[in-house]
Chains A and B, each alone.
Chain A
Amino acid sequence: DTGVSQNPRHKITKRGQNVTFRCDPISEHNRLYWYRQTLGQGPEFLTYFQNEAQLEKSRLLSDRFSAERPKGSFSTLEIQRTEQGDSAMYLCASSFLQGNPGNTIYFGEGSWLTVV
């Protein structure tokens, strides 16, 4: 068990460019979550997947954001036409949910995005 892996860990991009982040969850986990965290704030829910199905998207996730989990394993989060307000840490997390919603969510180290 290598934990939740995210890459790249840091990304600096110019405004208007597209960026993509990848998350590899813990292998047997069927749930995968994306959160966004800005300085001094708690993680804000963006979206989550149950296997390959995207079950919920936050209103924070504008149409410039898209997330996929094509085979129910790794996931990608793409931000198109980045804006300075997108600068944040993007956290991926995973869990195994089978009837017990109290299962622990395990977080990756996060991917820092700076839009200049």
Chain B
Amino acid sequence: GAVVSQHPSWVICKSGTSVKIECRSLDFQATTMFWYRQFPKQSLMLMATSNEGSKATYEQGVEKDKFLINHASLTLSTLTVTSAHPEDSSFYICSALGTSGTSGTGELFFGEGSRLTVL
């Protein structure tokens, strides 16, 4: 099946630094990718929808200048947490919309997640 790889799987950084997380679709082209943040009580919060070659669409309340999303190719989207602070510590998950399936279904493939800890 389709594979989405996320890197790094965990990262620890100092407050004020920037961290980049990569999301790659390994065996298919993903025109649309999603970035989620997962809070301790398990809920997934959609941060933004990333479409290849265009600006990401951010959900309400998500700071676009803080969470920079770039989707420069059909197989790679990146999330950069700029000037990270301890409250940004979280589990970030990407997913890619596959091209298989009939119209209206879609297949959503998830990365392994990235655990960010800001000291």
Q: Do A and B bind each other?
A: no
Q: Which residues of B contact A (CB under 8 A)?
A: none
